[in-house]
Amino acid sequence: MLRRLSIIALTAALAASTVTPATAQGGKPVDHDKPLGAAYGALGANFNQNLDALDYRELRESHTGWVRGFFPMPATDEGDPAAHFAIRTITETAERGFDTILSLKFPYGGAHFPEPGSAAMAAELARLDKVLPAVLGKVDVLTIGNEPFIESLPAERDERLNAFYETVARHVIDYRREHCGTGCRTTLYMGALNRLDLADRRTPAAERWMAFVRETPEIEGVDIHPHIPAPQNAQAFLDYILPRMRDDQTFLVTEFSLVWYWQRHLEDPVSDEFAGRYGFAPGTPVWQVIKAAIDEPFSRRQWDDFLASCPWFTSQAGFLRDQMRLYRGTGRLAVATYGFKQDDLMVKDFGPDKAPWLLNSVFAPYTVKSRGDGLSGRGYWLDDFRALQKR
């Protein structure tokens, strides 16, 4: 049972409304008598690999009660997983009264999947046996996988991928039953599926993935990552997963964005009005303005003026609100988490071909000047993110 449930959306009719977390302000655990498998419709903060950048003041400022990140399984070989910053931070965050999601990342993009029964698989399961005691009964959601159809060799995105993740999932299920009991607070999801808006991603392996989710009682549902080139593309994800799940299952959206739409506009010229006001040459491309903000962070006013001067950006100003309305409107959303904070990988070697993940962020420490006392500059999405927490 979930002891720290932040947000409740009881029906599909209420799913499109906004909600307030019960724990984000005071950090006090709240007892509830429903498992996470019900459709709560929460919106939380996603940190990916950057849980060490978490600042509780910024979580409180955003009014969120949910935090998500991932743990790379090879890090288990470097020492006690409980001491790794990702697991240490996520469990401390849970202890402070926030609800938490941890995805287990299996990066096989440069190596073959181990076969079930092999020594390599035994080694992978031994890693799990080190990680699971540190997180089971502490985090609210454990997602088995991060982005399996990306973090794998293209040639092995077939039954070999399925066999690996199914073996891992059964091991996690057995371990949870034996060591955490039937009342374990940690629920299990399989994740995450990408680019289901593209027909060539709806493969036999994706079908088998969904069949395993549906046919495994201990799995609460599936995670999706709709990073998309247009807002309407998100519907294809829902059209694919919902008919393939049990009626009692829900879904996570632990990452979502318009990053591929933003990228198409990096070489657009910035407006003459903005260029003239802030000393850029006429026709300066958008990516060079972003690079200038990375090199010397803008004031919040200048950053806001830059985004407001870009019609391709302002035309999508309702993206966060509209996407949450779509997901909540299904009556099946458990939790969605949105990119919370710019990180160093987003700004490294920034240029016209770089995916502009930094435009998604709720807080913008790399392109907006600090507000002092270590507080990050505010990004464009904070007001909508905060409003979406309210009932």
What is the pLDDT at residue 36? 58
Q: Is 60 exceeded by the pLDDT of residue 338? A: yes
Look-up of token digits 């299996």: 106
CA distances from 375 to 98, 285, 341, 364, 371 (A): 20, 29, 11, 10, 5
Residue 235 maps to a domain: yes
79 conformational bin, left if phi > 0, alpha if psi -120 to 50, beta if neither? left
Higher pLDDT, 20 or 70: 70
Q: What 3-state DSSP class applies to 237?
A: helix
- Is the distance from CB of 370 to CB of 364 less than 8 angstroms? no
What distance, in Å, lies between the first and last C-alpha atoms of the chain?
A: 23
Domain that holds residue 172: 12-260+318-343
What is the helix (H) or strand (E) element at residue 170, kind and residue range? helix 159-179
Residues 225, 208, 40, 94, Cα dihedral to 10°: -70
Nearest to 381 by CA among 45, 6, 53: 45
Nearest to 320 by CA among 29, 46, 109: 46
What is the pLDDT at residue 296? 98
Nearest to 335 by CA among 224, 169, 244: 224
What is the pLDDT at residue 37? 58
**Average pLDDT value for the chain:** 91
| Count of the separate structural domains present in the chain | 1
pLDDT in tens, 370-381: 999 889 999 999
Q: Is 60 exceeded by the pLDDT of residue 19? A: no
Q: Is 90 exceeded by the pLDDT of residue 175? A: yes
Residue 197 maps to a domain: yes
Distance, CA of 93 to chain centre: 16
Q: Give the residue-averaged pLDDT of 97-125.
A: 97
- Is the distance from CB of 359 to CB of 268 less than 8 angstroms? no
Residue 108 maps to a domain: yes
Residue 391 maps to a domain: no
Residue 282 maps to a domain: no
- Is the distance from CB of 164 to CB of 125 less than 8 angstroms? no
From CA 338, how far away is CA 209, in angstroms rounded?
24
Q: What 3-state DSSP class applies to 288?
A: helix
* Among the ranges given (24-38, 206-220, 221-235), the one the predictor scored with the smallest mean pLDDT: 24-38
What is the pLDDT at residue 10? 33
Q: Give the residue-averaged pLDDT of 341-367.
A: 97
DSSP class of residue 112 equals P
Task: Please report, rounded to a whole number, the percentage of residues in the chain having pLDDT higher than 90.
Answer: 88
Distance, CA of 198 to chain centre: 20
Question: Which pLDDT band, with edges at 50, 70 and 90, does 12 fall under?
Answer: very low
Q: Is 80 exceeded by the pLDDT of residue 33? A: no
Q: Is 50 exceeded by the pLDDT of residue 1? A: no
Q: Is 60 exceeded by the pLDDT of residue 162? A: yes
Token pair in block for residue 139: 């985090």
Handedness of CA 161, 167, 173, 176 (dihedral sign): negative
From CA 92, how far away is CA 73, in angstroms rounded?
19
Residue 368 maps to a domain: no
What is this structure's pTM? Answer: 0.91
Token pair in block for residue 322: 């509209």
Token pair in block for residue 196: 């289901």
pLDDT in tens, 241-255: 999 999 999 999 999
> For 263, phi and psi rounded to 5 degrees?
-60, -35
Q: What 3-state DSSP class applies to 68?
A: strand
What is the pLDDT at residue 2? 37
Q: What is the CATH number of the domain that holds 64?
A: 3.20.20.80
pLDDT in tens, 258-270: 999 999 999 999 9
Question: Which pLDDT band, with edges at 50, 70 and 90, does 183 fall under?
Answer: confident
Question: Which pLDDT band, with edges at 50, 70 and 90, does 15 fall under?
Answer: very low
Cis peptide before 111 (omega within 30 of 0): no
- Is the distance from CB of 180 to CB of 186 less than 8 angstroms? yes
Q: Is 80 exceeded by the pLDDT of residue 6? A: no
Residue 191 maps to a domain: yes
Token pair in block for residue 114: 């181990």
Residue 364 maps to a domain: no
pLDDT in tens, 36-82: 556 689 999 999 999 999 999 999 999 999 999 999 999 999 999 99
CA distances from 64 to 26, 201, 353 (A): 12, 33, 33
Q: Give the residue-averaged pLDDT of 128-138.
A: 98
From CA 77, how far away is CA 390, in angstroms rounded?
42
